[in-house]
Chain A
């Protein structure tokens, strides 16, 4: 579920950081810039892994800071499609089951990817798998918030969340609710779903 991404960046080290070692200062600046951010089509950045290349630093007229081109590798959260992950149910809604991994919350299992047949209970606010016991009767299996769930990643969607230009001023409210990185999951296979469903 974690990968390394190699990136190149010109890092600006302000003069107040000149007392630090260059490596440390750069690592600090890169982490400040990227940690806990989603990079489009790369994934959710976690932390700097290592610096692979440092080029000469240079100074730009009128700026006391030094600028260094640096190549580095960053730990990124990006599960591959078809990967099996474990998470906790955050909530259930008509749109499906929302799952959290603690550090990443934008995972949803749409109703069509739940075990079949499932229904949504409005009063309990939970999805229920109507498990067929084999003798004609049904057994309701609830998917309550907080339960540990195993699911398969089936899709991912990245969205550009840059602020809209002034001409689109009316639509700026929408851009604030945009989710930069969304994962879709499924549990419609034997073995997937709440862990308690499958240990006999």
Chain B
């Protein structure tokens, strides 16, 4: 076996979940290791917010995020673990204080709430924890 390219593309959790579910539904009975890993992965993914997504939502959300100065990987993390507080955006976006204004952070939270079905929590005292 030869590895042509170890990283052709990055998939978000939602894409993996839909692919695995489609496989589970169409293929005949899966056996062995494949059955184990698909079962465990689907179970993990169903515990994440991506269970409630639709592909339209994800596309619209990415379009809405385009206006901000954030990288592809940061967008991927926003889709996979949608932030609900300003603190979580700080974690996802490196040096967010310099790259995003408070207003931007507010807007990102609103976009996540709108497209990714999470409810933002309003805690302003970020440093307190």
Tell yes or no: A124 within 8 A of B by CB. no
Q: Is the CB of B9 within 8 A of A192?
A: no
| Complex contacts, B106 vs chain A, CB 8 Å | none
Give A198 to B126 CA distance when docked, in angstroms.
9
Residue of A nearest to B5 (CB): A6
Tell yes or no: A8 within 8 A of B by CB. yes
Q: How far is the CB of B92 from chain A (nearest CB, A)?
A: 6
For chain A, the count of residues having a C-beta within 8 Å of the partner chain is 45
Q: Is the CB of A47 within 8 A of B38?
A: yes
Residue of A nearest to B15 (CB): A2
Contact of B10 among A2, A42, A198 (CB under 8 A): A2
Contact of B37 among A36, A82, A83 (CB under 8 A): A36
Q: Is the CB of B37 within 8 A of A47?
A: yes
Q: Is the CB of B1 within 8 A of A7?
A: yes
Q: Is the CB of A35 within 8 A of B2?
A: no
User: How many A-B pairs fall under 8 Å by CB?
Assistant: 125
| Complex contacts, A199 vs chain B, CB 8 Å | 121, 123
Residue of B nearest to A77 (CB): B41
Contact of A84 among B81, B126, B127 (CB under 8 A): B81
Q: How far is the CB of B95 from chain A (nearest CB, A)?
A: 12
Give A116 to B110 CA distance when docked, in angstroms.
33
Given known contacts A2-B11, A190-B129, A102 and B43 CB-to-CB distance under 8 angstroms? yes
Contact of B8 among A3, A84, A101 (CB under 8 A): A3
Within 8 A of B (CB), among A151-200: 152, 189-192, 197-200
| Complex contacts, A73 vs chain B, CB 8 Å | 8
| Complex contacts, B128 vs chain A, CB 8 Å | 200
Q: How far is the CB of A30 from chain B (nearest CB, A)?
A: 10
B53-61, B62-70, B83-91: which lies at the interface: B83-91
10 closest residue pairs by CB, A with B: A103-B40, A102-B44, A35-B34, A36-B33, A36-B37, A6-B4, A6-B5, A2-B11, A8-B2, A9-B1
B interface with A by C-beta (< 8 Å): 1-13, 15-16, 19-20, 23, 32-34, 36-38, 40-41, 43-44, 47-48, 73, 77, 80-81, 85, 87-88, 90-92, 94, 121, 123, 125-129
